[in-house]
Chain A
Amino acid sequence: QKEVEQDPGPLSVPEGAIVSLNCTYSNSAFQYFMWYRQYSRKGPELLMYTYSSGNKEDGRFTAQVDKSSKYISLFIRDSQPSDSATYLCAMSAEEGNNRLAFGKGNQVVVIP
């Protein structure tokens, strides 16, 4: 079993819909949780960062962490065609990026 599991999709939604993405993990020591967004032919860019459990909201994006279930989620409200990208979850048990474990990425397509 990989440390981080993420259903690669693709996930197609109509414009304006709520997009729900999630990752599960096996390492209970993980405490830093991130979502990266990767547009086609580009490098990933950090979208959201959460430490430990709880919710974090940034505009149309909400990240949730449930450490008891080893489950993290990303919600995109009022999705736009510009949200079409691959979303990768990433997590680490320690500070810094040296032991960052990425999920496979979930491709999202928002249809106008």
Chain B
Amino acid sequence: DTAVSQTPKYLVTQMGNDKSIKCEQNLGHDTMYWYKQDSKKFLKIMFSYNNKELIINETVPNRFSPKSPDKAHLNLHINSLELGDSAVYFCASSRNRQGAGVSPLHFGNGTRLTVT
């Protein structure tokens, strides 16, 4: 069973469209994230949710809206897609363990978004 699964795997769409990416984790983790990896492989956090509550919202355009219906799911909706949104989007999850340093991030296999 895949621990962190995201769909779709590939997404090709035109500028101006609205699209969603779904993510589910079956690890029982409290915290979920969205990361963006650009063409130069640079991985940057976009959002972090802990128990369905938004913790981090980095400098991401408000065209991007995360939604967490429950702590096992974190979806990403993108409005009015732009060429610069083309990237690989990774969902990840981790335990939330206070006083225990850093818990490993468990990543999905990414959604390759191409905006034409």
Q: Which residues of A contact B (CB under 8 A)?
A: 8, 32, 34, 36, 41-46, 49, 51, 86, 88, 92, 95-98, 100, 102, 104-105, 107
Q: A49-B104, A86-B41, A105-B42 are in contact. List 19 more A-B contacts (CB 8 A).
A: A42-B110, A43-B4, A43-B90, A43-B107, A43-B110, A44-B43, A44-B105, A45-B106, A46-B104, A49-B101, A96-B94, A97-B33, A97-B102, A98-B45, A98-B55, A102-B43, A102-B44, A104-B41, A107-B41
Residues from chain A with Cβ under 8 Å of B103 in the complex:
96-97
How many interface residues does chain B have, given as a range? Answer: 20 to 34
Q: Mark B89-116, 1 if CB is under 8 A from A, else 0.
A: 0101010101111111111111000000
Residues from chain A with Cβ under 8 Å of B55 in the complex:
98
The reply to whether B41 and A43 contact each other, CB–CB distance below 8 Å, is no
Judge if B48 is at the interface, Cβ distance under 8 Å: yes
Complex Cα gap A71–B104 (Å): 21
Judge if B31 is at the interface, Cβ distance under 8 Å: yes
Partner of B96, one of A32, A46, A86, A96: A96
- Give the shortest distance, in Å, between B46 (CB) and chain A (any CB): 12
The reply to whether A95 and B102 contact each other, CB–CB distance below 8 Å, is yes
Residues from chain A with Cβ under 8 Å of B48 in the complex:
97-98
23 contacts between A and B (CB under 8 A): A36-B105, A41-B110, A43-B4, A43-B108, A43-B109, A45-B106, A45-B107, A46-B104, A49-B104, A51-B101, A86-B41, A95-B99, A95-B100, A95-B101, A96-B96, A97-B92, A97-B102, A97-B103, A100-B45, A100-B102, A102-B42, A105-B42, A105-B43
The reply to whether A104 and B40 contact each other, CB–CB distance below 8 Å, is yes
Q: Mark B71-105, 1 if CB is under 8 A from A, else 0.
A: 00000000000000000001010101011111111
Complex Cα gap A95–B103 (Å): 8
- Give the shortest distance, in Å, between B65 (CB) and chain A (any CB): 19
- Give the shortest distance, in Å, between B20 (CB) and chain A (any CB): 19
The reply to whether B41 and A49 contact each other, CB–CB distance below 8 Å, is no
Complex Cα gap A47–B77 (Å): 31
Partner of B43, one of A42, A51, A88: A88
